[in-house]
Amino acid sequence: MTLLTVSGLVKHFAISGSAKLVQALNGVDLEIARGETLALVGESGSGKTTVGRCVVGLIEATKGSIVFDGEPMTTARNIRHPEVRGRIQLLFQEPMESFNPRETIARAMMEPLIYLGVSGPDRVKRLREVLALIGISERVAESLPSDLSPGLLQRAAIGRAIMSKPDLLVLDEPTSALDPTSRAEIVDLLIRLQAETGIAYLFISHDLSTVRFLSSRITVLYLGSVMETGPAEEVCARPRHPYSVGLMASVLLPHPSLKAPERLKLEGEIPSPVDLPPGCPLASRCPFVEPACRTAKPPAEYPAKGHLVHCINHEKVAALDESIDQFSEFRAISDRMLSVGAPTAPAWAG
Amino acid sequence: MQILRYIARRLLFVIPQLIGIVAISFFLIKLIPGDPAVLMLGPNATADAVANLRSQMGLDQPLVNQFFIYLGNVARGDLGMSWQTANPVLTDLLQRFPATLELVTLSLLLALAIGIPLGVASSMHKRGALRRFADGYGLLAGALPDFWLALVLIFVFYSVLQIAPAPLGRFSFMLIPPETITGSVLIDSLIEGRFDVFWSALGHLILPVLTLGLVNAGPILKITQSTMDRALSSDYIAFARLSGLPRRTVRAQAFRASLPNIITIVSVLYSFLIGSAVLVEIVFGWGGAGQYAVAGVLNADVNPVLGFVLFAAMLSLVVYLVVDLLYFALDPRTRV
Amino acid sequence: MALARTIENEAPVIALRNLTVAYPRYGGEPRTALAGIDLAIDAGEMVGLVGEAGAGKTLLARTIMDAIPGDGRLVCGEMDYRGAPISRIGRDDSPVRPGRDIAMIVSNPRNELNPVLTVGTQITNVIRHHLRLGKAEARERALQMLRAVAIPDPERRLDAWPHELSGGMAQRVVIAIALACNPGLVISDDATSALDVTVQRQVLDLFKALVEDKGVAALLITRDIAVTAHYCDRIVILYDGEVVEDAPRKAFFDRPHHPYSVLLMAAFAHSVSLRRQWTAAPLKTAASPACRFAERCVRRQPRCIAEAPALRDVAPGRRVRCHFPVEAVA
């Protein structure tokens, strides 16, 4: 069942003192079903954060529609509307900056419920539930943000986001400020929460390894346009868009045998999203470019059900090479490595 | 070319800004109670004489009319008469404004000469005695009233040690004043070869310049120190250090990064001192513009006050334009 | 590498012995932030130093550069540069100079370049100071360096301002500055973590090529073990100020021996259940354990609480600090 549908989302920002526009989003379509995870990947400047902010209503789209739970979001039915309030939440990248430094974690977590009209005792009750869910003790919850490690704080931030039992959680690079072991803990927590509460995630990230593990579907964004959307496994193992291929090839997994071959080389770096030419945004860097790419945006093509790609040469791209699914290879390697040496009994506890 | 266009655009806004400033000060001054006509004619004047003078001065007209008449006069370069000095205000100001400017400019130069080296050095050595001295100095300079310091200096150097000249004006009243060319006594006397006046003027400048310089070195020191501190802890200075660049280069780079803030504080102090040096001017009998304006306020002599506001405003606008141009020159990121 | 050295009898570019740095603590024992680091890097070798926030990896770099942040103090330890002892290289009379002999690249390239100086000025400043070159020669050398780091249109970039560069280009400029004086050792402190993945790979490829080409010893500091898997010859794992494992790349990734190394690998694993096996329950004892990793270790035994493990050789070129290392796959 579809929870969120975004169609034709356009967002332009004015540059002060100039007539030019930052074309952050140029017609983005995406869909999230209840209880699923859609990952939004792309480099900085691709507009992925802007999509997230439009969805939670932090910024207003220039054009396009957002339908949440069957009803369109409008200026009247916005994020503060009683029907919607508390049902879409956002998790920021920097946990340190998203907490008031003078407020205890417990207070900060209960705060969203005040605006939903939840009574004091019920707020405390819900706090206990959520603390148990995210594995933070009540004693720790009484400390100030500065006393917690970034990993623990991000855990608390997730707790705060799910206090209102949202249907959708937008996660904006939630792990990129964290150390790998803390990141793994957060990822595991997100997976468990989804299994237990049926919450849907819009997971915005450039960490493709985590994306592959966490999400069911992936949307690849480049310069404010969707390049490819499809099942996570397909997009990672058999990318159909030249940009997706380039992106997947840049992933570094922690084993020397897992360096993706450079099947395709993208020239240069992502240009600034000002004064974009018509046509495919990748045209200036794409080795498959042909005149048609520069005149009009490539139409949506569907190589398989549920797999969309905006590239007229996607067949050629798909024929590039045998699929090299470095993620499953890595999984095999790491499973083998980790299955040896861990004690079967719990660690000696002293 | 871009710079010229920018300057032209800025100058275009000077006129409405000046009109606005004049309007606000005009109506505010009119709120001050006191009838100039009564004050001018003295306590024994008849009601008829007062009424006559009032209509002569246009004071019987509605306030808005009075304002537009004044504005029209200003546009023709007529700032009205001061009834205290019986001179046109423009003449008075052209004589007194340079006196204030000379004092303020030299004082700020002294303040810079004290504040910047002290700020830079104390920032480079965060744990030394110099840092403690600089911090103490900054605190003291912020706490001392300038007129009090002026009186102390006069007491010590004039009354006790008798090495400073009497605090009575810009140079010895025994000397014949030089022709006014630029308005600065120092420059004018040099141009005319009047070295007696030059040396006398220099002697008279020492104590007031010392007063204002010592007091205003405080904020300059503080700003220099804090922006230097910030620059020195920035990533690019850390990288410069790790690249093995010598200490003086690192210091020069950090100072360069602090310049915009120092320029800002100097420009603020400059505009501020034009009016607020008045207490020091009074103590030294300087005959500056601030003194003139204060006398105008106290005696319901409206035209000198408005004239002063106009001059000070123009000066501030010029100072801020220069500051913005300096920003342009200093920071490539502003040149978009 | 260690073997090759004994044959050629050539001193490593940098050798650290028992390097210990402590920070004073109010009303208590000083905190040992780096505890007896032993590490040597040969010419042309790229060593990956992996650790999490607070492990002391940046501090190690800063200690070599004689720029220990805050009130930290070098308690003991020796450093050799090409066989000759060095200390306090930040002093003007030191024969080994930061920026010339040992260069460093830090993270966030955008903030590392001075915003009010052109790219050219910033490169030539370093070149002129260290190599005593004239203006024109220094500019020529700067141009060479920009070409070496594959910056398009280098003549024009020389006069560009830092804000006109993208993050990737800025990091290339920083690399150009670091390598401009042909240093013996270059330290990269998390230099690519702020870049996008595609750019990160380009910059790392370039860095690796330059290091190999010039025969520079390189210390690549990162919290991302994946980076070291593809670019480093040797992996050194740092935990809480101690080296816990030091191994050649292939051997390390075939079988990490220290439980913490395995935990780092587990952080990337796509399996929640396997990861849980390597995540330890908290220790109940009040006393702080002798082994610094014991609190998070699934393989801990009473001995780990009582006796601190030493960094011992387990194979040629391979050291582990653990009483109960993970053995080879059965």
Contact B331 C126 (CB under 8 A): no
> What is the total count of domains within chain B?
2
Q: Are residues B174 and B27 in the same domain?
A: no
Nearest to C106 among B239, B246, B253 (CB): B239
pLDDT digits (tens, 9 = 90+) for A31-54: 999 999 999 999 888 899 999 999
Q: DSSP of B159-192, one letter per residue?
A: IIS--SPPSSSSS-TTSPPPPPSSS-HHHHHHHT
* Chain B residues within an 8 Å CB radius of C103: 242-243
Nearest to C161 among B234, B330, B332 (CB): B332
| B85: in domain | no
Q: Are residues A42 and A151 in the same domain?
A: yes
| B128: in domain | yes
Return mean pLDDT, chain A.
89
Q: Are residues B250 and B277 in the same domain?
A: yes
pLDDT of A324 reads: 67
Could you tell me if C270 lies within 8 Å of chain A, comparing CB atoms?
yes
Q: Are residues A256 and A205 in the same domain?
A: no
Q: Are residues B226 and B323 in the same domain?
A: yes
pLDDT of C2 reads: 46
Of the pLDDT bands very low, low, confident and very high (cuts 50, 70, 90), residue B287 is confident
Could you tell me if A286 lies within 8 Å of chain C, comparing CB atoms?
no
pLDDT digits (tens, 9 = 90+) for C224-279: 899 999 999 999 999 999 999 999 999 999 999 999 999 999 998 888 888 888 88
Three-class secondary structure of residue A101 per DSSP:
coil
Nearest to B244 among C99, C111, C112 (CB): C99
The side-by-side arrangement of strands in the sheet containing A225-231 is A88-91, A168-172, A200-205, A37-41, A217-222, A225-231, A307-309, A301-304
Of the pLDDT bands very low, low, confident and very high (cuts 50, 70, 90), residue B303 is confident
Q: Are residues A251 and A128 in the same domain?
A: no
| A235: in domain | no
CB pairs under 8 A between A and C: 154
| A163: in domain | yes
Residues 45-84, chain C, touching A (beta carbon < 8 A) = 52-53
| B1: in domain | no
What domain range is A252 assigned to?
245-336
Q: Tell me if B106 sits within 8 A of B206, measured CB to CB.
A: no
Question: Partners for C (CB, 8 Å, 3+ pairs)?
Answer: A, B
What domain range is B52 assigned to?
14-75
| B285: in domain | yes
Return mean pLDDT, chain C.
89
| A229: in domain | no
Q: Evaluate whether the domain defined by C2-254 bears CATH number 3.40.50.300.
A: yes
| B82: in domain | no
Nearest CA in chain A to C301: A348
Tell me the shortest Cα–Cα distance from B307 to chain C, in angstroms. Answer: 41
| A331: in domain | yes
Q: Are residues B133 and B265 in the same domain?
A: yes
- Sorted by where each begins, the domain ranges of chain C are 2-254, 255-330
Q: CATH number, domain at A60?
A: 3.40.50.300
pLDDT of C314 above 80: yes
Q: Are residues A254 and A201 in the same domain?
A: no
Q: Are residues A187 and A253 in the same domain?
A: no
Could you tell me if B262 lies within 8 Å of chain C, comparing CB atoms?
no
pLDDT digits (tens, 9 = 90+) for C165-201: 888 889 999 999 999 999 999 999 988 887 888 888 8
pLDDT digits (tens, 9 = 90+) for A107-118: 999 999 998 999
Contact C116 B238 (CB under 8 A): no
Q: Are residues A29 and A146 in the same domain?
A: yes
pLDDT digits (tens, 9 = 90+) for C29-63: 889 999 999 999 999 999 999 999 889 999 999 99
Domain end marker among A215, A233, A253: A215
Q: Are residues A263 and A142 in the same domain?
A: no
Q: Are residues B55 and B119 in the same domain?
A: no
Q: Are residues A210 and A323 in the same domain?
A: no
Q: Tell me if C235 sits within 8 A of C48, measured CB to CB.
A: yes
Nearest to B331 among C103, C116, C126 (CB): C116
Q: Are residues B40 and B104 in the same domain?
A: no
> What is the total count of domains within chain A?
2
Nearest CA in chain A to C151: A268
DSSP B83: T
Q: Are residues B20 and B47 in the same domain?
A: yes
Nearest to C123 by CA among C142, C100, C103, C146: C142
Domain end marker among B23, B41, B75: B75
Of the pLDDT bands very low, low, confident and very high (cuts 50, 70, 90), residue C286 is low
- Alpha helix (H) residue ranges in A117-225: 120-134, 138-141, 150-162, 180-197, 208-214
Q: Report the percentage of chain C scoring pLDDT > 90.
A: 58
Domain end marker among A215, A235, A258: A215
| B7: in domain | no
